[in-house]
Amino acid sequence: MEFLQTPTPHAWFETALTQQDILLIDHANCERKAAATAMNLMYRHTSKTELMSKMSQLAREELLHFEQVVAILHEREINYARLGPSRYAAGLRQHISNHEDEALIDVLIIGAYIEARSCERFAGLIPLLDDKLARFYSSLLKSESRHFQDYLALAELYSSSDISERVIEFGNLERDLVVSPDEQFRFHSGVPALAS
């Protein structure tokens, strides 16, 4: 929470409890996309050894989380499906620099925000969910927290200048996406429009 500029609004958690099927399906989608993002970074930046090492570990962990969520969906007889993405990640990515070196730093900062927000939402959901799901989300907190720190450390490592202003800029964008009304509920959506 020292990194995020605002907590998730209570209305998001209320909606998450009433739409647990969508929460779990979108959570699976998020884990799959996180693994794909890590693989893409490895593919595009083969000269950056530290990045390839961290992203390889992250991709493996995210794929394991994906498998675990799919197993939970199966146990609960919820059909896995593709859902349209929320505006959250796209809303952040539209501000990525057009310059290659700066674009990498922006992607890493965005990754840090996505992982930090995931961690914050897992922590907020734990006391509200049934025991089995609460235990599962508790098990994810440590790795999600490490992922956020890894992304931020890599952004600092590969930037030729101080990234603090850029971190604040993306923090402002992330905050606005989290507190503004959203027409659809997703794991990273803003305030459900009916609750705004």
pTM of the predicted protein model? 0.95
On whether the CB atoms of residues 176 and 116 are closer than 8 A, the answer is no
Domain annotation covers residue 13: no
pLDDT at 135: 95
pLDDT value at position 144? Answer: 82
Neighbours of 165 (CB within 10 A): 9
What pLDDT sits at residue 92? Answer: 97
Dist CA 166 CA 16 (whole Å): 31
Q: Is residue 138 part of a domain?
A: yes
Determine, yes or no, domain membership for 2.
no
Tell me the pLDDT of the chain (196 aa) as tens digits: 789 999 999 999 999 999 999 999 999 999 999 999 999 999 999 999 999 999 999 999 999 999 999 999 999 999 998 888 889 999 999 999 999 889 999 999 999 999 999 999 999 999 999 999 999 999 998 888 889 999 999 999 999 999 999 999 999 999 999 999 999 999 999 998 865 4
* Nearest alpha-carbon partner for 137 in 120, 154, 149: 120
The range of the structural domain enclosing residue 69 comes to: 18-188
Cβ–Cβ < 8 Å for 127, 153: no
DSSP tally for the chain: helices H, then strands E: 7, 2
Q: What is the pLDDT of residue 196?
A: 42
CATH number of residue 72's parent domain = 1.20.1260.10
C-alpha–C-alpha distance, residues 187 and 179, integer Å:
14
Count structural domains, the chain. Answer: 1
117 within a domain of the structure (yes/no)? yes
